Amino acid sequence: MVSLKFSIILLSLLSLAIITQAQDPTFLYNYCPNTATYTRNSTYQANLNLVLSSLSSNATRNNINGFYNVSAGQAPDVVYGMFLCRGDVSNSVCRNCVNFATKDVLEKCPIEKLAMIWYDECELRYSNRNFFSAVDQDFTLFMTSPNNVTVDPDNFNQLVETTLNNISTRAASAASGAKKFAVQQANYTGVQKLYSLVQCTPDLSTSDCSRCLEGAISKLGNCCNRRQGGRVIFPSCNFRYEVYEFYNATAAVEAVPAPPPATPSPPPSSGSKTSGKGKGGVSTGLIIAIVIPVAVSLVLFFLGFCFLSRRAKNNRYTAEENDGKKHRESPPSARNAITDQGSIPSKEFFADQSKSKSVPYSGDEGSITEQENLITTTMDSLKLSTILLSLLSLAIITQAQDPTSLSQYCPQTNTFTRNSTYQANLNLLLSSLSSNSTRNNINGFYNVSAGKDPDEVYGMFLCRGDVSNSVCGNCVNFAAKDVLEKCPNETVAMIWYDECVLRYSNRNIFSTVDQDATVLLSSPNNVTAQPESFNKLVETTIYDIAARAASAPPGAKKFAVQQVNYTGVQKLYTLVQCTPDLSTAGCSRCLEGAISKLGNCCDRKQGGRVIFASCNFRYELYEFYNATAAAEAVPPPPPVALSPPPASGSKTSGKGKVDNALFNCHVVL
């Protein structure tokens, strides 16, 4: 099984590497006015980080229709944020784009309180003012194809405007909360078609969405005269048209609302002229793993790659090559920056603004080369094959990495109400914990607070010192959802797994020894060989590594393991850990308190553990931790090891390996 899992992981990593490359979002533009800025490490920055974390972690939820908005903090440091994914993209593409955007926007707009960033697949924005459910047309982004149309330009222009007005009505009439998104394919010539798309943020009303799109369509003459493709993008809505299919038609049909009973006639022509031609957790996972061997998957992957490579070669002869320039101009007003870039992602484009000062189309926006054109034209097909393969392997890996639940603590002393400020702060906090759980520089521990009194929430997670970043991330992500199911309305909650612990509270829990709740776990099997010696060995060993863990420098893992001989053929394996925010004295005191419970939980038991909120220990007669990773994580021994106090009276002895599922669990309050 281990070798099977290893092979699957290698295979999925190869597949995912290609998918990740294929799904990198296509950058369009960013807007970062310097009218208001924040300082580093300020309250505003902390709230902004919480908002971005929440946007990132909510980007794949199925019930949000590719849109999510959230706020954090209180005036004057409140931050409002949202993302909108293109209506036809998948959850995974949406997530990848939003995750990328949350990092990219901070690089491009490092200190601005207001920022917007657009990609072909999504947009993300935040501000210090409330923009939810409001039409925003202050900033306009124009994008046009460099190629003019030549066949029936006036008829083409009328067709573009009529089609956009038609689907705008359909998009605006979508039910509340649904995607305000529509596409349409129309005949242009005998051999060419027109493809068009419109979208509003779902928080707009029907009338506001209509008004926003009407405003965008009125810009056709400004941006797209005699162009094969173009788009106008406002923060609240956008449209695009091309003479090639630029959206996923199947997904778009599923996403768009049904046409309204009556479609109004389009308004009179705005005078724009565009024309042209051209191209543009079950055992099922184990069964699958056995039935479909890794060797077969590798063969399928290789054959798919060969097929796609040949298809890419064929596509070389149909791809158009275009050169483009980008012109920067002063906008008509300080708040209306108008930028024209190419609307066809696989080509280079012209950008145009109203006072002509031209520069090469390069820098952050990038210049798209001929080789990149070829990659772009074939990447969608490559995604499909690699995604199918990786989904199989990832399903098995995910099943294998589900965390092992131990216990939870949800006192009913304090509760919160649904849709309250406390719940909003708690959701932000859990989102932040989840998104920070795989960072390399936090040593498997992270704490954060959200909100202000009386609705402030404090939270943290601690992963076992020997687990990998991926296991830690999986456990924390699982815990962030599981704790809300097990403790649905408690202001204080703790949940423990074999791989991690997560907790939150309405009082400050940071850097504080907490022994209020105790989880005792013990093996059902007693030891029989030399029980007194075994008991002494357990206690001595745990005290020894407790001193080592407590002496770790600030910020390092307060974690230690040790293996010692028990009999000629058996060994004792021990582990202790504190939260890294405890002082040396605090960690020592916490572990001493836990060790004093040995007699309560583990008398004559082959294995056992005591878990406090702030620290824990475990011992077994089998190697239950990753020895290699543990050796890298533990601090060096202190110069002088503390001697254990007199025996507490606990008696444990025995041999044999016991599954955690057979452990007895007691919660002591």
Give the lowest-confidence range in 61-75, 165-179, 191-205, 208-222: 61-75
pLDDT value at residue 60: 75
Which residues, in sequence order, are CB contacts of 212 under 8 Å at separation 6+?
Answer: 135, 137, 200, 204, 234, 236, 237
Please name every residue paired with 326 in a beta bridge, in sequence order, or none if there are none.
Answer: 351, 359
Q: Token match 């926006």: residue? A: 365
Least Cα distance to 558 among 628, 635, 476, 656 occurs for 635
Residue pair 666/602 in contact by the 8 Å Cβ criterion: no
Look at 317 and 124; give whichever has higher pLDDT.
Answer: 124
Examine the pLDDT at 649 and tell me if it is beyond 60. no
The angle at the Cα of 148, spanning 185 to 328, to the nearest 5 degrees, equals 110
Question: What is the chain's percent helix, strand, coil content, to nearest 5?
Answer: 35, 20, 40
Give the lowest-confidence range in 60-74, 97-111, 173-187, 342-356: 342-356
Note the pLDDT tens digit of each residue in 293-351. Answer: 444 445 555 555 555 554 444 443 333 333 333 333 333 333 333 333 333 333 333 33
Examine the pLDDT at 443 and tell me if it is beyond 90. no
Examine the pLDDT at 254 and tell me if it is beyond 50. yes
CA dist 277 and 244 (Å) reads 10
Residue pair 433/448 in contact by the 8 Å Cβ criterion: yes
**Burial letters 75-86, b for 16+ CB under 10 A, else e:** eebbbbbbbbbb
Note the pLDDT tens digit of each residue in 192-210. Answer: 899 999 999 999 999 999 9
Q: What is the 3-state secondary structure (H, E, C) of 247-282?
A: CCHHHHHHHCCCCCCCCCCCCCCCCCCCCCCCCCCC
Q: Token match 């959200």: residue? A: 450
Least Cα distance to 382 among 492, 305, 461, 488 occurs for 305
| Mean pLDDT confidence for 15-37 | 74
Three-state secondary structure call for residue 531 = helix
Most confident of 18-22, 61-65, 149-153, 648-652: 149-153
State the burial class of residue 91 (Cβ atoms within 10 Å of its Cβ: 0-12, 13-18, 19+): middle
Residue 598: how many other CB atoms lie within 10 Å: 25
Q: Where are the alpha helices (DSSP H) in 31-139?
A: 43-57, 91-108
Distance in angstroms between the alpha carbons of the first and the last residue of the chain: 40
Look at 305 and 245; give whichever has higher pLDDT.
Answer: 245
The percent of residues above 70 in pLDDT, for the chain, comes to 69
Note the pLDDT tens digit of each residue in 458-470. Answer: 999 999 999 998 9
Q: What is the 3-state secondary structure (H, E, C) of 343-377?
A: CCCCCCCCECCCCCEEECCCCCCCCCCHHHHHHHH
pLDDT value at residue 15: 52
Yes or no: domain 518-668 corresponds to CATH 3.40.50.300: no
Residue 530: how many other CB atoms lie within 10 Å: 14
Residue 555: how many other CB atoms lie within 10 Å: 12
CA dist 431 and 433 (Å) reads 5
Band the pLDDT of 169: cuts 50, 70, 90. very high
**Joined tokens for residue 22:** 């294929």
Residue pair 601/666 in contact by the 8 Å Cβ criterion: yes
Band the pLDDT of 438: cuts 50, 70, 90. confident
Give the lowest-confidence range in 139-143, 168-172, 615-619: 139-143
Q: Would you tell me the crossing angle of helices 584-595 and 531-550 to the nearest 10 degrees? A: 160
State the burial class of residue 107 (Cβ atoms within 10 Å of its Cβ: 0-12, 13-18, 19+): exposed
Note the pLDDT tens digit of each residue in 500-558. Answer: 999 999 999 999 999 888 888 888 888 888 888 898 999 999 999 999 999 998 878 99
Three-state secondary structure call for residue 286 = helix
Q: Token match 């794949």: residue? A: 60
Residue pair 604/527 in contact by the 8 Å Cβ criterion: yes
pLDDT value at residue 10: 57
Amino acid, single-letter form, for residue 77: D
CA dist 235 and 118 (Å) reads 9
**Joined tokens for residue 561:** 């393991």
Q: Which CATH superfamily is domain 405-505 in?
A: Gnk2 domain, C-X8-C-X2-C motif (3.30.430.20)
Q: Token match 């920022």: residue? A: 115
CA dist 171 and 197 (Å) reads 10
Judge whether 405-505 and 518-668 match in fold.
yes
pLDDT value at residue 465: 94
Look at 292 and 389; give whichever has higher pLDDT.
Answer: 389
| Mean pLDDT confidence for 234-257 | 83
Pairing verdict, β 493-497 and 500-505: antiparallel
CA dist 425 and 71 (Å) reads 9
CA dist 65 and 204 (Å) reads 14
pLDDT value at residue 398: 45
The percent of residues above 90 in pLDDT, for the chain, comes to 48
Provide the residue ranges of all domains of the chain, joining segments of one domain with +: 405-505, 518-668
Note the pLDDT tens digit of each residue in 480-503. Answer: 999 999 999 999 999 999 999 999
Residue pair 193/243 in contact by the 8 Å Cβ criterion: yes
Whether omega for the bond prior to residue 454 falls within 30 degrees of 0, making it cis, is yes
Look at 436 and 394; give whichever has higher pLDDT.
Answer: 436
On average, the pLDDT of the chain sits at 76
CA atoms within 13 A on the CB side of 29: 22
Write down the pTM of the prediction: 0.45
Whether omega for the bond prior to residue 76 falls within 30 degrees of 0, making it cis, is yes
Look at 38 and 15; give whichever has higher pLDDT.
Answer: 38
pLDDT value at residue 389: 53
pLDDT value at residue 495: 95
